[in-house]
A = this chain, B = another copy of it.
Amino acid sequence: MIRVNLFKRLGIHTLFFSSKDKRLASSIKLIIGRKPLNLSLYRLALTPSGLGEETAKGFKISNERLEFLGDAILGSVIAEHLFKKFPYRDEGFLTETRSKLVNRETLNEIGIKIGLKNTLEQVVSTRQFIGNKSLFGDILEAFVGAVYLDRGYKFAQKLILQRILLHMNVEEMISTVTNYKSKIIEWAQKESKMVEYRVLRVNGNQRFKEFVVELNIDGEAMAQGKGGTKKKAEQEASKNACEVLGIPI
């Protein structure tokens, strides 16, 4: 293991690269700042799900597994960043802010900005993916997974903070904290529906409380929410109802 790594760190493996491999490796270097040690990881990250070859047993090789891994790494790096950046904000704020930062649309834009489109075009024509709106967001996540496997957590963390987070306007996203309850009330007024929030039960004791709130629309239960305060539970229920009703958030 150590010998293989040394071999790679010295760059000896690149002697066996085809000219296509070399081009791919340099364009990855432009994104991550270093030459890739294991090029095949990055090649996998650049394999969108529609494209992967099918193996004998019907298992499709694509970047979706790497996307799962990269999503998790991205989540924990951003979690730590927000944890340290906002020492006086509660976990609800942190969760909300993270999910705003790591949404499909933002990731897709960033993927294009940091050059994944150019890189993908070296491997395959991107025309065939016109219908796929989260193509570069998915590739970005898979790419983070590849970087993590290739170079470890600290390297991936640095990449995320210095090259990805850079494109996220944290301050702006925070100022648009979504008030789900007001979304529901607005919607109800427009649709002339009756909205009612009802506390179903309160779990716990004096020290620890959990409210369970039900959101009724025209007398019919639409969604539930839980939280340490009635307000939080109502927000949660409203958020769920937005999803059910397809109200854009």
Chain A residues at the B interface, C-beta cutoff of 8 Å: 48-51, 57, 59-60, 64-65, 67-69, 71-73, 75-76, 78-80, 83, 88-91, 94-95, 128-132, 135, 145, 148, 153-154, 203-210, 222-224, 228, 240, 243-244, 246
- Tell me whether A59 and B72 are in contact (CB under 8 A): no
| A240 interface neighbour in B71, B154, B206, B244, Cβ under 8 Å | B244
| A208 interface neighbour in B49, B72, B145, Cβ under 8 Å | B49
State the CA gap A135–B131 with chains docked (Å): 46
| A69 interface neighbour in B71, B83, B153, B243, Cβ under 8 Å | B83
| A75 interface neighbour in B75, B132, B153, B205, Cβ under 8 Å | B75
| A64 interface neighbour in B65, B91, B205, Cβ under 8 Å | B91
The residue on B at minimum CB distance from A133 is B203
Can you pick out 11 interface pairs between chain A and chain B where the beta carbons lie within 8 Å of each other? A48-B208, A49-B208, A50-B207, A50-B209, A64-B90, A69-B83, A72-B79, A129-B208, A153-B153, A153-B154, A224-B246
State the CA gap A95–B65 with chains docked (Å): 10
Chain B residues closer than 8 Å to A243, beta-carbon distance: 240
State the CA gap A18–B121 with chains docked (Å): 63
Contacts A51-B207, A83-B65, A132-B208 hold; do A88 and B76 have CB atoms under 8 A apart? Answer: no
| A91 interface neighbour in B65, B89, B148, Cβ under 8 Å | B65
- Tell me whether A68 and B94 are in contact (CB under 8 A): yes
| A50 interface neighbour in B154, B208, B222, Cβ under 8 Å | B208
State the CA gap A65–B243 with chains docked (Å): 26
State the CA gap A246–B222 with chains docked (Å): 10
6 A-B pairs with least C-beta separation? A72-B79, A131-B204, A50-B208, A50-B207, A72-B76, A68-B91
Min CB distance, A217 to chain B, in Å? 12
The residue on B at minimum CB distance from A209 is B50
State the CA gap A24–B130 with chains docked (Å): 58
Chain B residues closer than 8 Å to A83, beta-carbon distance: 65, 68-69, 145
Contacts A131-B204, A204-B131, A205-B131 hold; do A90 and B72 have CB atoms under 8 A apart? Answer: no
